[in-house]
Amino acid sequence: MKKLLYLFLILITAACQSREQPKQEWALALHGGAGNMDKTKFSEADIKSYENALKEALEIGKSALADGQSSLDVVEMVVRNLEDNPLFNAGKGSVFTNDGRNELDAAIMDGRNLNAGAVAGVGDIRNPVSAARLVMEQSPHVLLIGKGASLYASQNGIELVDSSYFYTEKRWQLLQRSLQKAGKNGTVGCVALDKDGNLAAATSTGGMNNKRYGRVGDVPIIGAGTYANNNTCAVSATGHGEYYIRFTVAHDISALMEYKGVSLNDAAKAVVNGKLSNEAGNGGVIAVDKNGNITLEMNSTGMFRGWANADGEEGVAIFK
Ligand code: ASP
């Protein structure tokens, strides 16, 4: 009798738990960077073009996930689209270092097996996220940098471009302005849960405007700006990278879930608006958990972002 009662209790608890968190068939979130954005400095036309760019990337991810494509393919595809868009600080729209170069970082992670790949400080790879995937899948390493990364990428069919490809007038002027005052951040990223229950994350960036030649940020550091684990969540961060490295932001969110059973939302809040702050670690994260819950958490006044799930909930937004 006692045994039966015990069994009954276990069944009830399991039923309650599964009702608590409806499982999405698939879910997706993306970002195009965060920072202290002043809405009054954006024209209506600027806002429209950012929103359209976010929608375009969201559409690519949504239809691929709905078609049953893997989260790994989807995060790469979405980030490539954002890298090719000069509006965002990654790939084509990357910011300049203090001495006028473009040095790009990117990472990708597969939540199924904790495989990860990254490239840092590259100046001639058109889509660094694909080079990161190459490092993950074809090399025995996790992180390749600079010329070594470019050589490996070109030997394996990844498109190289002349460094002038990354020149955009807008970013050049931004450097000129910030040579007098503080820098600015921005990045792109995507996290996804696919129909097979696999999570993946990818992040790509030009880094921080006016950074020192040779500086590497959080993006290619697994556990700092990028992390995915099928047991917990997938995270892509954007913000002042030095803090994200020191506070191992993406892994902390996953660890709170894994070791303490904290929900995705609470974990992201505790890290982004607890451990980090607008002054120390300005920025945010996008994350999706194994049940398809999505979090878009920031401590800054804006983050270019988009989200969608199989239930048809979706949107894009810029300001907090
Ligand atoms: N986290 C990036 C870096 O520090 C920049 C950003 O996301 O704004 O390189």
Ligand 1 centroid to 293 CA: how many Å?
24
- The answer, yes or no, to whether any atom of ligand 1 lies below 6 A from the CB of 189, is no
Query: Which carries the bigger pLDDT value, residue 180 or residue 317?
Result: 317
Q: Indicate if the pLDDT at residue 110 is higher than 50.
A: yes
Determine the average pLDDT of the residues in 75-92: 97
- Using alpha carbons, select from 209, 188, 161, 196 the residue that is nearest to residue 70: 196
Q: Is the pTM of this model over 0.85?
A: yes
Q: Indicate if the pLDDT at residue 75 is higher than 70.
A: yes
40 burial class (0-12, 13-18, 19+ CB within 10 angstroms)? exposed
pLDDT in tens, 215-274: 999 999 999 999 999 999 999 999 999 999 999 999 999 999 999 999 999 999 999 999
Every domain of the chain and the residues it spans: 25-319
Known catalytic residue at 203: no
Q: Indicate if the pLDDT at residue 15 is higher than 60.
A: no
Question: Which atom of ligand 1 has the smallest separation from the CA of 207?
Answer: 9
Q: Is the dihedral of CA 20, 306, 120, 239 positive or negative?
A: negative
Question: Which atom of ligand 1 has the smallest separation from the CA of 105?
Answer: 9
Instruction: Provide the CATH topology of domain 25-319.
Output: Glutamine Phosphoribosylpyrophosphate, subunit 1, domain 1 (3.60.20)
pLDDT for 7 equals 47
